């Protein structure tokens, strides 16, 4: 075990005993030290970075009660189930409890036998729970998903604003805020809103090296979705859509292809949403097609891919949504299907929202900035990992991440990009900057349509200049020029309250046309095939067929036990633990105990069943144990 000098040795022993963890992750030690010393803190660690352990382990060591504030009942239940499976006493206080449950839990809290109590922000502030916590002299509050308190965050929740009263209600207690995604602006807002006193601010590395990022031009969302799913058969994935109708349509189409895909969006009945969520977490369904409503509270660590079939509305949203892949630290992919039209779809939605009564005027400005940032990411010509890390204010020095479409050479510059750009801009000029993308593309392609003939545009010098190129490629290049600010899409009013988007030139357009400014246009190297997943140098995939077969047997055992106990499968064991069981094939409980994620309580509770499964598999297949 790697022991931090800042932490007591008994804390490391406790973490090994309960969680089966021998080595702490970056920043966990100083985060735990802040809790133990009673100093307020803000901890920003990427999804899968181990935030929960930062407040759970100190609570068990100190022997008093830590109150954890969490936004969703499902999140609370999952954490309580996981803690109890590790032999730690934890309870949740929420609206799903019966009166008897509430009385029994309150008595256990008074008796001092509960290490962690999970509550929602409104329940803490608006009920008499504060009296109970003052009675037992709670000294530590942990706020999960702390970005919810900030107007500038991607998931603002008004009820979180009430937590500003914590310092008045419990002046002697320390407050610790935890989140996975927060820009510097959001971090400052969290500290200010919670009134944290001289806090320890710990910001982890935003890079997720186990994730492979790809941005593909959206051509046929259904076909491209099938391509991704085919490469990840029997693996978990989330597909995000912009609209509810898109969710229903895509989920239905996938089911017709024999894929058990379940929809999730806010327009569904609550019981239907719950059924999808529970089926996914219980590993009874591996593909969920959803809007962004499917997110917080979805605690399945072995998601192997996240596919966005449309551009998200901010990089914060994308980091959070894509970050649901590979939470177990194993390899995963994040694919974004992009069309330049996505920017204007979102822009229209945001402007409608901004026009509603009572909306803060700054909402529109901030939202459009977020939109431009993610649009630039999609059109970008540099490393995806570097772009995301730098957006969140950190450096990225590696010349190649070896894990994105650009660094892997899957996207290259378009030959003669400068000439193509000049032809596009010249066409916009020839149609007097009064037409939209579709019409300009039609003119460049030399299409013989009634609309073109009616306008006399078949006589223009730019007619047919790009007749050898596909319309979808020309359309994408137009949007890439807009993204590089070499072309403008503006609204033209055609009647009272009715506008249409048209293309217009600006000063940079003229510089490109004169050869005074260079632009870069990108295209895929070639149409993608459903190639098998490539291995990276840090890939932790199973090496052969026997290991993979054993893994599937252990997954089946895990699902059965999880169903019997009414807990998510990851509460039994994570995929990381199952993979290590497959590689090492232990022959004794003693050797099994050395595997990551197997603490004393789980060894007693589950060890015999999993050990027998490993040994039986080895006997049937003539494999050695203790590999």
Dist. CA 220–CA 163, nearest whole Å: 46
Dist. CA 70–CA 13, nearest whole Å: 28
Dist. CA 507–CA 159, nearest whole Å: 47
CATH class (in words) of the domain with range 211-410: alpha beta
Q: Say if CB 613 and CB 557 are below 8 A apart.
A: yes
Dist. CA 510–CA 52, nearest whole Å: 54
The pLDDT of residue 1: 37
**Beta carbons within 8 Å of 102's beta carbon, 6+ residues apart:** 93
What residue ranges of the chain are covered by domains with CATH 1.10.150.80?
545-621
Reading the block at residue 84, the tokens are 């109890």
Dist. CA 405–CA 387, nearest whole Å: 13
Q: How far apart, in Å, are the Cα atoms of 194 and each of 42, 121, 161? A: 10, 12, 8
**Beta carbons within 8 Å of 511's beta carbon, 6+ residues apart:** 517
Q: How far apart, in Å, are the Cα atoms of 4 and each of 7, 11, 26, 46, 518? A: 6, 10, 11, 21, 52
DSSP 3-state of 335: strand
Q: What is the dihedral of CA 217, 252, 267, 224, to 10 degrees?
A: -10
pLDDT tens digits, one per residue of 127-170: 888 899 999 999 999 999 898 888 665 567 778 888 989 999 99
What residue ranges of the chain are covered by domains with CATH 3.40.50.300?
9-203, 211-410
CATH of 413-524, one of 1.10.530.10, 3.30.360.10, 1.10.3720.10, 1.10.10.10: 1.10.10.10
pLDDT above 90 as % of the chain: 56
pLDDT tens digits, one per residue of 20-68: 999 998 899 999 999 999 999 999 988 777 899 999 999 999 999 999 9
* pTM passes above 0.85: no
The H-or-E segment that residue 262 falls in is strand 261-264
pLDDT tens digits, one per residue of 185-215: 889 999 999 999 999 999 988 899 999 999 9
Reading the block at residue 582, the tokens are 């497959």
The H-or-E segment that residue 480 falls in is helix 471-483
**Beta carbons within 8 Å of 389's beta carbon, 6+ residues apart:** 205, 206, 207, 395, 396
Mean pLDDT of 6-21: 91
pLDDT bucket at 544, cuts 50 / 70 / 90: low
Dist. CA 7–CA 560, nearest whole Å: 39
CATH of 545-621, one of 1.10.150.80, 1.10.1050.10, 1.20.1730.10, 3.40.50.300: 1.10.150.80
Distance of CA 624 to the CA centre of its chain: 39
More confident residue, 343 or 618: 618
CATH of 9-203, one of 3.40.640.10, 3.40.50.1240, 3.40.50.300, 3.40.50.920: 3.40.50.300
SS (H, E, C) 558-611: HHHHHHHHCCCHHHHCCHHHHHHHHHHCCCCHHHHCCCCCCCHHHHHHHHHHHH
Of the candidates 472, 471, 480, 481, the residue with the CA atom closest to the CA atom of residue 442: 471
Count Cα atoms within 13 angstroms, Cβ side, for 212: 22
């Amino acid at each position: 075990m790697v022991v931090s000098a800042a932490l007591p040795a008994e804390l490391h022993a406790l973490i090994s005993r309960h969680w089966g963890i021998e080595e702490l992750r970056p920043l966990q030690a100083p985060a735990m030290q802040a809790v133990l010393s009673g100093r307020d803190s803000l901890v920003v660690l990427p999804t899968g970075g181990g935030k929960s352990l930062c407040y759970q382990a100190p609570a068990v060591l100190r022997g008093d009660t830590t109150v954890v504030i969490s936004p969703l009942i499902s999140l609370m239940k999952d954490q309580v189930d996981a803690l109890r499976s590790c032999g730690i006493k934890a309870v949740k206080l929420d609206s799903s409890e019966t009166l008897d449950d509430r009385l029994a839990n309150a008595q256990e809290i008074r008796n001092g036998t509960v290490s962690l109590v999970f509550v929602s922000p409104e329940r803490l502030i608006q009920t008499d729970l504060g009296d109970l916590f003052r009675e037992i002299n709670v000294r530590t509050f942990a706020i999960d998903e702390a970005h919810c308190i900030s107007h500038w965050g991607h998931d603002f929740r008004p009820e979180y604003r009430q937590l500003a009263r914590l310092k008045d209600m419990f002046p002697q207690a320390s407050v610790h805020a935890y989140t996975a995604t927060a820009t510097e602006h959001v971090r400052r807002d969290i500290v200010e809103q919670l009134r944290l006193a001289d806090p320890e601010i710990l910001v982890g590395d935003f890079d997720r090296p186990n994730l492979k990022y790809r941005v593909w031009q959206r051509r046929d969302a259904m076909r491209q979705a099938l391509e991704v799913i085919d490469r990840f058969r029997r693996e978990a994935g989330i597909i995000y859509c912009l609209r509810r109708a898109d969710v229903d349509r895509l989920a239905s189409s996938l089911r017709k292809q024999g894929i058990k895909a379940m929809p999730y969006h806010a327009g569904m009945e609550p019981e239907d949403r719950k059924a999808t969520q529970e089926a996914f977490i219980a590993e009874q369904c591996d593909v969920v097609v959803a809007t962004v409503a499917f997110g917080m509270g979805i605690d399945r660590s072995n998601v192997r891919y996240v596919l966005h079939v449309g551009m998200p509305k901010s990089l914060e949203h994308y980091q959070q949504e894509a970050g649901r892949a590979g939470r177990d630290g194993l390899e995963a992919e994040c694919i974004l299907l992009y069309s330049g039209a996505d920017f204007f779809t979102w822009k229209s939605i945001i402007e409608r929202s901004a026009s509603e009564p009572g909306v803060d005027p700054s909402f529109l400005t901030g939202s459009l900035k977020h939109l431009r940032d993610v649009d630039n990411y999609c059109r970008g010509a540099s490393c995806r990992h570097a772009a995301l890390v730098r957006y969140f204010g950190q450096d990225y020095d590696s010349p190649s991440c070896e894990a994105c479409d650009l660094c892997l050479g899957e996207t290259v510059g378009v030959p003669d990009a400068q000439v193509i750009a000049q032809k596009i801009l010249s066409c916009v000029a020839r149609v007097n900057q009064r037409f939209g993308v579709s019409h300009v593309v039609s003119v460049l392609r030399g299409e013989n349509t009634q609309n073109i003939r009616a306008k006399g545009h078949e006589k223009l010098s730019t007619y047919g200049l790009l007749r050898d190129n596909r319309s979808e490629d020309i359309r994408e290049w137009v949007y890439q020029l807009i993204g590089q600010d070499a072309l403008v899409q503006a609204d033209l009013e055609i009647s009272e309250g009715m506008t249409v988007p048209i293309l217009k030139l600006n000063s940079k357009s003229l510089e490109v046309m004169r050869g005074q400014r260079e632009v870069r246009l990108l295209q895929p190297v070639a149409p993608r095939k459903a190639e098998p997943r490539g291995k990276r140098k840090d890939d932790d995939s199973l090496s052969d067929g026997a290991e993979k077969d054993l893994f599937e047997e252990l997954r089946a055992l895990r699902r059965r036990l999880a169903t019997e106990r009414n807990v998510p499968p990851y509460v039994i064991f994570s995929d990381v633990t199952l993979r290590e069981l497959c590689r090492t094939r232990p022959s004794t409980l003693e050797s099994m105990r050395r595997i990551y994620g197997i603490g004393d309580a789980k060894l007693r509770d589950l060890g015999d069943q999993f050990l027998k499964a490993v040994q039986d598999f080895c006997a049937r297949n003539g494999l050695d144990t203790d590999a």
